[in-house]
C-alpha cells in the first residue's frame, strides 16, 4: 500500500508500523468518576468495521510521525491521512 | 545429431552461431534465439516429460509460459532446478537438462503403470482411498504418496546463486511488449514521461515475432525491432526484457522478476541470477496478450499435439517444423492461419478439421467439416481419427496436430485486486471487467482486441488516456485487422480420457465425476480435481473445465464463473523473494563499540536481537563456558569487572515538560527527581501489565536520558512517541534515540571507583558522586563523557559513556587503568548470573504477563498522578491475595539444579496444572553461593519464605525439592551499592 | 587534551574506500552531527536561528547543503545538523549555545555511519538498495528509507552522481556489505 503522508507525500506502507483503531487517541480522564469502566472500554472495546476505519500508523522508517489513516478495510482505499498530533489537538487533547 | 526439423531459412534465430546442449544425456545443437523446446523440436525430440499422475508421455503443448507439459530439470549440481519450462528456457551453450517425473528412462517409465490403473486414480482418489485404517496413514500411505508425488526433484544443496531486490519508479508501466505494448510505449515515450516496458520474453514483439503478416512494408518482427530501437534511444524509457510482472498490489505497486542470468551458463561473479523489482507506478497499461486454448479430444495429450498458434510460432519464429505432416483442428479462423503459414513453408497439411460448416476454404489443402475424435501413437502422435458430419470416420496420418479453440485474453493481472472478468460472447472468453486495479487500463488482445491493427490502436489510446495526453495517436503502418470468427466448441462429445489440465492429469471424465459427486462450485471443482492447481495455474485448461461444468449444471459459463487469479502470474523461485537476506545476511548485525577489542580477547559472541554481544571471555585452560563465567563473576565481585552495556536502549528526553512526560510513561514518580540523579523506572502498558523497565537520569532540569532494555528499545521508543504525539500533543517534550550515539560500559566491583578515578577528570568519591548520581563529565583529560552510578550486578558500580567513535579507545583505557586490580571483562552470561544473584528482574520476569505487583513493585505504582496503565493496574483480577510474587528459589540438595521453566508444586499432592503454584523464570549456578539459584513467581510468594516445595517438569523429568527464599541472594541490604 | 583516538565506524583507523568502474563507496569519518528539535511554542525563534545558521530552514524531505554546516529535515520541527568533525568536534555544545532555550539539541556524532556514493552508476546502485526515486531526486532531496532493513537517510548532493547515506553506526558493516553487493551486482 501507499500512504500519502501529509508532509512527505506518497510513502510505501512498508515504512510504517500499524497500531490500530485511532480511538486510542481518546484516552479517558484518569480522575473521572467512572475511570475504571472508561479505561476498560478504551482498552478492550473496539469496532472492527468492514469498510471505512480510522487507524493509527507510525512512520517508523521515516519521520517518526504518528498518522491517522482513514482506510477502507475491504478495498484498502485510503481517503485521508492526517498527523495524529493534529487530530489529537482537534479532539481536545491539548493541555 | 542433425537439426532434422529445422526449416531451411527464416526465423529469428542466429544461424551463424551454434549452441551445444544436452538433454537426457544426448548432445544436440541449436542456435541463439532458440528456446530449449524449439531446439529439441528442431532435433526431432518431442517427448520431453511424463505427466504427473499417470506418467503419460508428453511433449510441449505451447511455445510460451503457459506450458503445462514440457517441464524439465535444468542444470545440474546445486543449480539443478525442477519444473523449468522448456518453452521459455532460452538456449545457451552448454545447457544441461533432464526430463523428470519418470522411473527408469523417459521412453520406458516404470510408473506408466499408473496409466493402466487410471480407473482407480480419478478425481478425489486420495480422499477415497487412503481413508482407513488411520494407523496406515503415517506408516504406509504418506511415504508411498510422498515418493510418487511431486514434479521433479530438488538438488538438496544450497542455491549457489544470489538474488537481488530492487525498486523502480515510473509514470507508466506497460506490461507486455507485443503490438499493443509497443504502441503504448511509443506513445508515452515520445510524450516524455517515464515509462517501463516489461516483457517476459527475451525478445520483445510478442506475437509479432510469431506471425507472417506485415505492418506496412515491414514484417511484424522487423517493425517491432525498429520500435524497440527507437524506445532504446529514449532516456525516459526503460526496456525490461526477460521480466515477468508477477503481481499487482495496492496503490500502484507491482512485483516483477527479471531473469538476469538464466540465459547464461552461470551468472558472472557478483551478479544476481534474478532480480525481484518492486515497481511504483502512477498508471499501468496491461498488454499481456492472449493465450490460445486447446479442444478436449480423446487422447489429446500425445507429444506432437500442440496449440495451433504454438506450431505457428515454432515455424515462423524458430524455423522449426513440428512434423512433416501436420493436421489442424479448429473452431475459428485463426487455426487456418497456422495451416496457411505451414503450407507456405513447404510443410504438408494433412487437413484442417473445422467444426464449423462455413469454414474458410483453401486451394492448397483439404478443409474438412468434422471433429477429431481420437489420436494414436505411443510416444508421439502418428495419426488422428476424424468424425465427419456424415457420421463416418476417417483416419489421417500426421505427426503433429494443432488445436485452436479460440483465444483467452490474459486477464490475470486485472484480477489481483479482487476484480472479476466478464464474459464476451463474440470471443467466447472472459475479458477484463470494470473493476480494474486503480490506475490500470488494458490494451490489445488482453482487452479482447484480437487484431494487430486493433492492438496498435488500443495500445496507443490506452497510453494517452492513462497519461491524459491530448491530440492524435501516432500513425502506425497498415496492419492485419481481421475480425474474430469463432464457434464455441470445448470438447468432443463422448470423450472421456480427454485432457483438460495436462500438468495435473485432469480429464473431462474427472470433471464429470466431480459434478456427479456434488462438487459443483467452481472453487470446489478446482480443489477436488486439482484442475488448474499445477504450476501453470490452468492457463490452458481452466476454460475447458468451466465449459463442461456449465453444461452439466445447465448454466452458462459466466454463471459458473471463474476461480480467483492470484499472484504470481508464473512460477517464481523462492530465492528471489529472499533476495540478499540469506544465511549470514538474513538480518543486519549490530556491533558494540568494544566489538573489535572483544574479538581480540577471544570473546564468544551471542546474538541479542541484531546485536552481537560478548557472551563470555574464555581464558587459556578453561574448558567449559561455566568456568569462564564463574571466574568473571567472582573477579567482578572480588575486585572489578567491565562489560559493554551499549545495547541498552537510550532515549534523549528534553523540553520544559520532560519530567511531566516521564511521569506519564513511568508508573512511579519522576517530577521531583533532582538534577544529577538517576531513578529506576517501571513502565506499564495501558492494561496494567509491566512493559519495560530502565533508568532515567536527570542531566538538567529539562533534560533526561532514559534507558530501555535491549530488546524493547524500538517498541518503547514507538510507545513514547505515541504518548507524546497522540495523548499529550501539547507537552513541550522532544525525543530522539541515542542508543548508538554513546559507547557505554559498566564498571562494577569494589575496586570500580579506584579504576575510574584514574580516568575521570572529576571527583567521584562517594560523597561527591553517591549512589544513583549522574553527570556530564570529562575523561582522560577532556573528552566529554557521561557517568551514572547505577548497578545491575549489585556491586559498587558505574556506567560510563563516551561518543561511540571513542568507545574502542575507552575500553582499552579502562583495561589499562584496571590492570593493577586485575580488571576482568565479563559477558552477558556473567551479567545474567549477577543480576539473578541480586534479584533484579529482567526480560524473563517482565514477560508480558506480569504486573508490578507480581514483580514485588506494587507500591511503586503512584496513585497520585496519571500514568499509562495505572488505572487498569488496579483491576480486581490483577490484585488478588494469592497473586504470583517474585521469589528466590534454591535447591535443598545443594548439588541439584533448578531449571528455568519448571513449575512449583506442593511437597505432597498431585502434579498437574490445577495444582500449579508458580514457575521458575531465571536460573543459574551462583559461583558466590556455590549452588544453583533461581528466580520465579509463586502464588502469595512473599508470605512463603522458607517453605519447602517441589520443582517439577514432567516433560524433562525434573523433580527437585526446593526452598523458597528472598530473591535477593547477595547483599540484600544494598550496602555494596552505596559503598 | 585527551589522548583517546577514534576508530571509524567500520573499525579501521582510516576510512575505507572501495572503487568500482561505475561507483566509489567511501566511508566518511569526518562528520560531526547533532539533532535540533524546536521547543513547543518557540518554533519561530528556532526557525530564525536555523535560518541564520544554514541560510534556510530545510522543509520536509529537504537538506540545505552548505559549508561548513549543512542540515536536513528529520521530522516535524526536527533537523539534523552536520559539520566537519575536525573543526566542529563540539558541534552539539555550540548549537546548544546558539539555539539557547528555543530548541533541544542532542549529540548524534556517534550514532551514524556515513557513506558517500559517487559515480555514474549511482542510480543503478541505489535502485538495488532502497525505494527512493533516485533518478528524480534533486540536489538536497533527502529521504529516510530502509536499506537492508536499516533505517537510513539518503541525501542527494550537489553533484548529480553523489549520494550521501547515513545509516546506524552499529550496523556499519552490514550496511557497507549491502552497498558493496549492490555495486558488484551493477558493475
Which of B591, B736, B739 lies closest to C173 in CB terms? B591
Contact yes or no for B253 and A12 at CB 8 A: yes
Q: Where are the domains of chain A?
A: 2-90
How many whole angstroms separate alpha carbon B971 and alpha carbon B969?
Answer: 7
Same domain, B170 and B233: yes
pLDDT, tens digit (0-9, with 9 covering 90-100), for A11-56: 999 999 999 999 999 999 999 999 999 999 999 999 999 999 999 9
Same domain, B299 and B401: yes
Q: Helix B308-316 to helix B334-344 angle, to the nearest 10 degrees?
A: 30
Query: What distance in Å separates residue A53's CA from the closest CA in chain B?
Result: 17
The nearest alpha carbon in chain C to B236 belongs to: C135
Q: Which of B715, B713, B718, B775 is nearest to B738 (CA)?
A: B713
The reply to whether B808 touches chain C by the CB within 8 Å rule is yes
Same domain, B191 and B218: yes
Q: What's the pLDDT score for residue B701? A: 97
- Residue B88 belongs to a domain with what CATH number? 3.10.20.440
Contact yes or no for C40 and B738 at CB 8 A: no
How many whole angstroms separate alpha carbon B730 and alpha carbon B497?
Answer: 75
Chains touching A (at least 3 CB pairs under 8 A) are: B, C
Select the residue from B166, B667, B726, B879 to test the A interface by mutation, using most A Cβ atoms within 10 A: B726
What's the total number of domains in chain B? 7
How many whole angstroms separate alpha carbon B37 and alpha carbon B48?
Answer: 8
Same domain, B365 and B421: no
- Quickly count helices (H) and strands (E) in chain B: 22, 49
| Cβ(B651)–Cβ(B738) below 8 Å | yes
Same domain, B761 and B632: yes
Q: Which whole number is the average pLDDT over B355-375?
A: 96
Query: What distance in Å separates residue B578's CA from the closest CA in chain A?
Result: 16
Contact yes or no for A88 and B726 at CB 8 A: yes
Burial of B705 (0-12, 13-18, 19+ CB in 10 A): buried
How many whole angstroms separate alpha carbon B189 and alpha carbon B784?
Answer: 58
The reply to whether B132 touches chain C by the CB within 8 Å rule is no
- Residue B778 belongs to a domain with what CATH number? 3.30.1360.120
| Cβ(B644)–Cβ(B858) below 8 Å | no
Q: What does the block give as the cell for B868? A: 499509562
Query: What distance in Å separates residue C20's CA from the closest CA in chain B?
Result: 13
Contact yes or no for B872 and A30 at CB 8 A: no
Which of A25, A39, A76 lies closest to B250 in CB terms? A76
Q: Which of B521, B525, B523, B524 is nearest to B508 (CA)?
A: B525
| Cα–chain center distance at B263 | 24
Sheet bearing A66-72, strands edge to edge: A17-21, A52-58, A66-72, A78-83
Instruction: Give the pLDDT band of residue B748 (cuts 50, 70, 90).
Output: very high
Q: What range defines the domain where residue B514 resides?
A: 499-553
Peptide bond just before B755 cis, omega within 30 deg? no
In a domain, B488, yes or no: no
Q: Which whole number is the average pLDDT over B762-779?
A: 97
How many whole angstroms separate alpha carbon B326 and alpha carbon B322?
Answer: 8
| Cα–chain center distance at B76 | 25
Q: Which of residues 77-106 of C touch B (CB under 8 A)?
A: 78, 90, 93, 104, 106
Contact yes or no for A60 and C151 at CB 8 A: yes
Q: C-alpha distances in angstroms, B343 versus B7, B263, B309?
A: 12, 33, 14
List alpha helices for B165-307, DSSP H: 179-190, 220-233
By three-state DSSP, how is residue B512 classified? helix
CB pairs under 8 A between A and C: 30
Contact yes or no for B250 and A2 at CB 8 A: yes
Residues with Cβ < 8 Å from C180, sequence gap 6 or more? C18, C25
The reply to whether C131 touches chain B by the CB within 8 Å rule is yes
Same domain, B182 and B275: yes
Q: Which whole number is the average pLDDT over B408-421?
A: 95
Q: Which of B387, B407, B397, B380 is nearest to B305 (CA)?
A: B380
H-helix or E-strand spanning residue B369:
strand B367-376
How many whole angstroms separate alpha carbon B936 and alpha carbon B922?
Answer: 7
Contact yes or no for C104 and B813 at CB 8 A: no
Q: What is the mean pLDDT of chain B?
A: 94
In a domain, B572, yes or no: no
How many whole angstroms separate alpha carbon B964 and alpha carbon B200?
Answer: 69
Instruction: Give the pLDDT band of residue B133 (cuts 50, 70, 90).
Output: low
Which residues lie across from B166 on neighbouring strands? B277
- Residue B652 belongs to a domain with what CATH number? 3.30.70.1400
The reply to whether B729 touches chain C by the CB within 8 Å rule is no
Give B-chain residues touching C172 at CB under 8 angstroms: 591
Sheet bearing B604-608, strands edge to edge: B590-591, B611-616, B604-608
pLDDT, tens digit (0-9, with 9 covering 90-100), for A63-76: 999 999 999 999 99
pLDDT, tens digit (0-9, with 9 covering 90-100), for B848-894: 999 999 999 999 999 999 999 999 999 999 998 889 999 999 999 99
- For the cut 60, the answer to whether the pLDDT of residue C8 exceeds it is yes
Q: What does the block give as the cell for B323? A: 512434423
Report the share of chain B in percent with pLDDT over 90: 86
The DSSP output letter for B529 is H
| Cβ(B654)–Cβ(B699) below 8 Å | no
| Cβ(B826)–Cβ(B633) below 8 Å | yes
Q: What does the block give as the cell for B894? A: 545443594
Give B-chain residues touching A10 at CB under 8 angstroms: 280
B781: left (phi over 0), alpha (psi -120 to 50) or beta: left
Q: Which of B199, B243, B235 is nearest to C135 (CA)?
A: B235
ipTM above 0.90, yes or no: yes
Give B-chain residues touching A66 at CB under 8 angstroms: 721-722, 725-726
Contact yes or no for C61 and A85 at CB 8 A: no
Q: What does the block give as the cell for B842? A: 529482567
Residues of chain A that touch chain B, judged by Cβ-Cβ distance less than 8 Å = 1-2, 10, 12-13, 17, 19, 24-25, 27-28, 30-31, 35-36, 39-40, 42-43, 56, 58, 60, 64-66, 75-76, 78, 83-89, 93-95
Contact yes or no for C148 and B585 at CB 8 A: yes
Same domain, B299 and B286: no
pLDDT, tens digit (0-9, with 9 covering 90-100), for B70-89: 999 999 999 999 999 999 99
Q: How many residues does chain C have?
A: 187
Q: What's the pLDDT score for residue B159? A: 93
Q: Which whole number is the average pLDDT over C54-60?
A: 97
Give A-chain residues touching C145 at CB under 8 angstroms: 15, 61-62
Q: C-alpha distances in angstroms, B212 versus B362, B449, B473?
A: 18, 19, 25
The beta strand positions in B655-757, using DSSP E, are: 678-684, 690-700, 703-708, 734-737, 742-748
Superfamily the domain A2-90 falls into: Folate-binding superfamily (3.30.2270.10)
In a domain, B975, yes or no: yes
In a domain, B789, yes or no: yes
Same domain, B302 and B271: no
Which value, in Å, is the radius of gyration of the alpha carbons in chain B?
Answer: 38
- For the cut 60, the answer to whether the pLDDT of residue B1 exceeds it is no
Residues with Cβ < 8 Å from B557, sequence gap 6 or more? B423, B543, B546, B547, B550
pLDDT, tens digit (0-9, with 9 covering 90-100), for B430-440: 999 999 999 99
Same domain, B689 and B833: no
- For the cut 70, the answer to whether the pLDDT of residue B124 exceeds it is no
Same domain, B860 and B886: no
Q: DSSP for A14-56?
A: GG-EEEEEGGGG-PPPTTSTTHHHHHHHHHH-----SSEEEEE
Select the residue from A1, A3, A6, A8 to test the C interface by mutation, using most C Cβ atoms within 10 A: A8
pLDDT, tens digit (0-9, with 9 covering 90-100), for B443-492: 999 999 999 999 999 999 999 999 999 988 889 999 999 999 999 999 99
Contact yes or no for C170 and B655 at CB 8 A: no
By three-state DSSP, how is residue B15 classified? coil
| Cβ(C148)–Cβ(B588) below 8 Å | yes
List alpha helices for B776-823, DSSP H: 807-818
The nearest alpha carbon in chain B to A82 belongs to: B726
Instruction: Give the pLDDT band of residue B130 (cuts 50, 70, 90).
Output: low
Which of C76, C145, C146 lies closest to A7 in CB terms? C76
Q: Which whole number is the average pLDDT over B918-925?
A: 97
Domain's final residue, options B359, B387, B405: B405
Buried b (16+ CB within 10 A) or exposed e, B736-765: bbbbbbbbbbbbbbbbbbbbbeebbeeebe
Q: What's the pLDDT score for residue B588? A: 96
In a domain, B148, yes or no: no
Which of A15, A61, A64 lies closest to C75 in CB terms? A64
H-helix or E-strand spanning residue C34:
strand C31-38
Same domain, B246 and B192: yes
| Cβ(B939)–Cβ(B757) below 8 Å | no
The nearest alpha carbon in chain A to C72 belongs to: A63
Q: What does the block give as the cell for B586? A: 538474513
Same domain, B598 and B653: no
- For the cut 70, the answer to whether the pLDDT of residue B652 exceeds it is yes
Give A-chain residues touching B722 at CB under 8 angstroms: 19, 24, 56, 58, 66
Which residues lie across from B386 on neighbouring strands? B372, B394
Q: What does the block give as the cell for B189? A: 515515450
Amino acid at each position: 500500500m501507499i500512504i500519502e503522508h501529509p508532509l512527505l507525500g506518497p510513502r510505501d506502507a512498508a515504512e510504517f508500523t500499524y497500531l490500530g483503531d485511532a480511538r486510542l487517541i481518546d484516552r479517558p480522564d484518569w480522575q473521572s468518576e467512572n475511570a475504571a469502566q472508561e479505561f476498560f472500554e478504551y482498552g478492550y472495546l473496539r469496532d472492527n468495521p468492514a469498510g471505512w476505519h480510522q487507524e493509527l500508523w507510525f512512520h517508523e522508517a521515516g519521520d517518526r510521525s504518528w498518522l491517522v489513516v482513514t482506510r477502507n478495510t475491504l478495498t484498502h482505499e485510503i481517503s485521508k491521512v492526517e498527523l495524529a498530533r493534529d487530530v489529537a489537538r482537534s479532539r481536545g487533547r491539548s493541555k | 545429431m542433425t537439426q532434422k526439423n529445422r526449416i531451411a531459412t527464416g526465423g529469428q534465430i542466429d544461424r551463424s552461431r551454434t549452441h551445444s546442449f544436452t538433454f537426457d544425456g544426448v548432445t544436440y545443437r541449436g542456435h541463439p534465439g532458440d528456446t530449449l523446446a524449439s531446439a529439441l523440436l528442431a532435433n526431432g525430440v518431442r517427448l520431453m516429460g511424463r505427466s504427473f499422475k499417470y506418467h503419460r508421455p508428453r511433449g510441449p503443448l505451447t511455445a510460451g509460459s503457459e506450458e503445462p507439459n514440457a517441464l524439465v530439470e535444468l542444470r545440474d549440481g546445486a543449480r539443478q532446478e525442477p519444473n523449468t519450462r522448456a518453452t521459455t528456457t532460452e538456449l545457451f551453450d552448454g545447457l544441461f537438462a533432464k526430463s523428470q517425473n519418470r522411473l527408469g528412462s523417459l521412453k520406458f517409465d516404470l510408473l506408466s503403470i499408473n496409466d493402466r490403473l487410471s480407473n482407480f486414480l480419478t478425481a478425489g482418489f486420495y480422499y477415497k482411498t487412503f481413508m482407513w485404517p488411520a494407523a496406515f496413514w503415517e506408516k504406509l500411505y504418506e511415504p508411498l504418496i510422498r515418493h510418487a508425488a511431486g514434479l521433479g526433484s530438488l538438488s538438496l544443496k544450497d542455491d549457489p546463486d544470489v538474488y537481488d531486490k530492487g525498486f523502480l519508479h515510473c509514470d507508466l508501466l506497460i506490461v507486455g511488449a507485443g503490438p499493443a505494448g509497443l504502441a503504448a510505449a511509443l506513445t508515452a515515450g515520445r510524450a516524455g514521461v517515464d515509462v517501463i516496458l516489461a516483457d517476459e520474453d527475451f525478445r520483445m514483439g510478442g506475437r509479432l515475432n510469431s506471425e507472417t503478416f506485415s505492418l506496412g512494408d515491414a514484417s511484424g518482427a522487423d517493425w517491432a525491432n525498429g520500435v524497440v530501437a527507437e524506445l532504446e534511444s529514449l532516456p525516459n524509457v526503460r526496456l525490461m526484457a526477460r521480466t515477468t510482472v508477477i503481481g499487482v498490489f495496492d496503490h500502484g505497486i507491482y512485483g516483477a522478476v527479471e531473469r538476469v542470468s538464466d540465459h547464461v551458463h552461470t551468472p558472472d561473479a557478483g551478479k544476481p541470477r534474478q532480480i525481484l523489482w518492486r515497481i511504483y507506478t502512477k498508471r499501468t497499461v496491461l498488454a499481456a496478450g492472449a493465450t490460445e486454448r486447446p479442444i478436449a479430444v480423446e487422447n489429446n495429450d500425445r507429444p506432437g499435439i500442440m496449440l495451433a498458434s504454438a506450431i505457428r510460432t515454432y515455424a515462423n519464429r524458430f524455423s522449426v517444423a513440428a512434423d512433416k505432416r501436420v493436421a489442424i483442428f479448429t473452431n475459428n479462423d485463426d487455426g487456418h492461419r497456422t495451416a496457411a503459414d505451414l503450407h507456405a513453408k513447404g510443410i504438408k497439411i494433412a487437413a484442417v478439421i473445422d467444426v464449423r460448416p462455413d469454414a474458410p476454404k483453401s486451394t492448397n489443402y483439404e478443409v474438412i467439416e468434422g471433429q477429431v475424435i481420437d489420436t494414436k501413437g505411443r510416444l508421439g502422435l502418428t495419426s488422428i481419427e476424424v468424425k465427419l458430419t456424415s457420421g463416418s470416420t476417417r483416419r489421417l496420418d500426421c505427426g503433429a496436430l494443432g488445436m485452436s479453440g479460440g483465444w483467452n485474453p490474459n486477464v490475470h493481472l486485472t484480477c489481483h485486486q479482487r476484480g472479476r472478468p466478464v464474459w464476451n460472447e463474440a470471443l467466447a472468453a472472459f475479458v477484463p471487467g470494470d473493476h480494474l486495479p486503480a490506475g490500470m487500463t488494458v490494451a490489445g488482445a488482453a482487452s479482447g482486441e484480437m487484431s494487430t491493427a486493433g492492438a496498435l490502436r488500443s495500445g496507443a489510446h490506452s497510453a494517452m488516456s492513462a497519461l491524459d495526453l491530448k491530440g492524435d495517436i501516432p500513425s502506425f503502418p497498415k496492419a492485419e485487422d481481421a475480425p474474430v470468427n469463432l464457434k464455441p466448441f470445448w470438447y468432443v462429445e463422448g470423450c472421456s480420457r480427454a485432457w483438460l489440465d495436462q500438468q495435473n492429469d485432469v480429464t473431462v471424465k474427472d470433471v464429470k465425476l466431480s459434478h456427479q459427486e456434488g462438487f459443483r462450485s467452481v472453487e470446489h471443482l478446482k480443489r477436488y480435481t486439482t484442475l488448474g492447481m499445477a504450476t501453470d495455474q490452468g492457463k490452458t485448461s481452466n476454460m475447458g473445465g468451466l465449459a463442461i461444468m456449465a453444461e452439466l449444471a445447465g448454466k452458462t459459463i459466466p454463471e459458473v464463473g471463474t476461480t480467483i487469479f492470484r499472484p504470481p502470474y508464473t512460477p517464481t523461485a523462492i530465492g528471489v523473494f529472499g533476495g540478499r537476506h540469506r544465511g549470514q545476511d538474513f538480518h543486519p548485525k549490530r556491533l558494540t563499540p568494544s566489538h573489535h577489542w572483544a574479538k581480540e580477547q577471544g570473546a564468544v559472541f551471542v546474538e541479542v536481537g541484531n546485536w552481537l554481544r560478548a557472551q563470555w571471555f574464555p581464558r587459556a585452560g578453561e574448558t567449559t563456558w561455566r568456568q569462564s563465567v564463574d571466574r568473571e563473576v567472582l573477579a567482578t565481585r572480588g575486585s572489578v569487572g567491565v562489560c559493554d552495556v551499549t545495547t541498552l536502549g537510550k532515549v534523549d528526553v528534553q523540553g520544559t515538560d520532560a519530567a511531566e512526560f516521564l511521569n506519564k510513561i513511568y508508573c512511579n514518580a519522576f517530577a521531583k527527581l533532582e538534577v544529577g540523579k538517576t531513578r529506576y523506572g517501571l513502565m506499564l502498558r495501558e492494561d496494567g501489565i509491566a512493559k519495560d523497565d530502565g533508568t532515567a537520569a536527570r542531566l538538567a532540569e529539562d533534560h533526561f536520558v532514559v534507558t530501555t532494555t535491549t530488546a524493547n528499545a524500538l517498541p518503547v521508543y514507538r510507545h513514547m512517541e505515541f504518548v507524546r504525539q497522540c495523548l499529550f500533543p501539547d507537552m513541550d517534550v522532544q525525543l530522539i534515540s541515542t542508543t548508538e550515539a554513546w559507547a557505554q560500559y559498566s564498571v562494577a566491583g569494589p575496586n570500580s571507583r579506584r579504576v575510574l578515578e584514574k580516568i575521570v577528570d572529576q571527583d567521584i568519591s562517594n560523597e561527591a558522586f553517591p549512589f544513583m548520581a549522574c553527570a556530564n563529565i570529562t575523561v582522560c583529560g577532556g573528552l566529554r563523557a557521561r557517568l551514572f552510578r547505577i548497578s545491575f550486578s549489585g556491586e559498587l558500580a558505574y556506567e560510563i559513556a563516551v561518543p561511540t567513535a571513542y568507545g574502542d579507545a575507552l575500553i582499552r583505557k579502562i583495561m589499562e587503568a584496571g590492570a593493577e586490580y586485575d580488571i576482568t571483562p565479563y559477558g552477558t552470561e556473567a551479567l545474567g548470573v549477577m543480576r539473578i544473584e541480586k534479584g533484579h528482574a529482567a526480560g524473563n520476569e517482565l514477560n508480558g504477563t506480569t504486573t508490578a505487583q507480581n514483580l514485588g513493585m506494587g507500591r511503586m505504582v503512584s496513585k497520585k498522578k496519571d500514568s499509562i496503565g495505572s488505572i487498569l493496574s488496579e483491576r480486581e483480577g490483577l490484585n488478588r491475595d494469592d497473586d504470583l510474587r517474585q521469589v528466590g528459589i534454591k535447591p535443598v540438595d545443594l548439588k541439584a539444579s533448578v531449571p528455568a521453566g519448571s513449575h512449583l508444586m506442593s511437597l505432597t499432592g498431585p502434579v498437574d496444572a490445577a495444582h500449579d503454584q508458580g514457575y521458575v523464570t531465571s536460573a543459574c549456578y551462583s559461583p558466590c553461593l556455590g549452588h544453583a539459584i533461581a528466580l520465579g513467581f509463586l502464588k502469595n510468594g512473599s508470605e512463603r519464605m522458607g517453605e519447602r516445595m517441589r520443582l517439577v517438569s514432567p516433560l524433562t523429568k525434573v523433580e527437585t525439592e526446593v526452598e523458597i527464599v528472598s530473591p535477593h541472594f547477595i547483599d540484600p541490604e544494598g550496602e555494596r551499592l552505596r559503598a | 587534551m585527551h589522548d583517546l583516538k577514534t576508530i571509524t565506524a567500520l573499525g579501521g583507523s582510516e576510512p575505507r574506500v572501495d572503487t568500482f568502474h561505475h561507483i566509489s563507496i567511501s566511508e566518511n569519518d569526518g562528520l560531526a552531527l547533532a539533532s535540533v528539535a524546536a521547543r513547543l511554542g518557540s518554533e519561530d525563534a528556532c526557525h530564525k536561528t536555523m535560518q541564520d545558521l544554514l541560510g534556510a530552514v530545510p522543509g520536509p524531505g529537504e537538506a540545505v547543503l552548505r559549508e561548513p554546516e549543512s542540515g536536513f529535515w528529520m521530522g516535524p520541527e526536527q533537523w539534523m545538523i552536520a559539520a566537519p568533525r575536525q573543526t566542529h568536534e563540539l558541534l552539539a555544545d555550540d548549537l546548544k549555545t546558539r539555539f539557547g532555550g528555543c530548541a533541544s539539541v542532542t549529540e548524534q556524532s556517534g550514532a551514524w555511519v556515513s557513506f558517500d556514493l559517487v559515480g555514474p552508476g549511482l542510480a543503478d546502485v541505489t535502485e538495488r538498495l532502497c525505494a527512493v526515486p533516485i533518478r528524480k531526486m534533486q540536489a538536497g532531496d533527502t529521504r529516510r528509507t530502509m536499506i537492508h532493513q536499516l533505517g537510513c537517510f539518503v541525501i542527494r548532493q550537489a553533484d548529480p552522481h553523489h549520494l550521501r547515506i547515513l545509516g546506524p553506526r552499529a550496523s556499519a558493516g552490514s550496511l557497507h556489505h549491502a552497498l558493496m553487493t549492490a555495486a558488484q551486482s551493477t558493475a
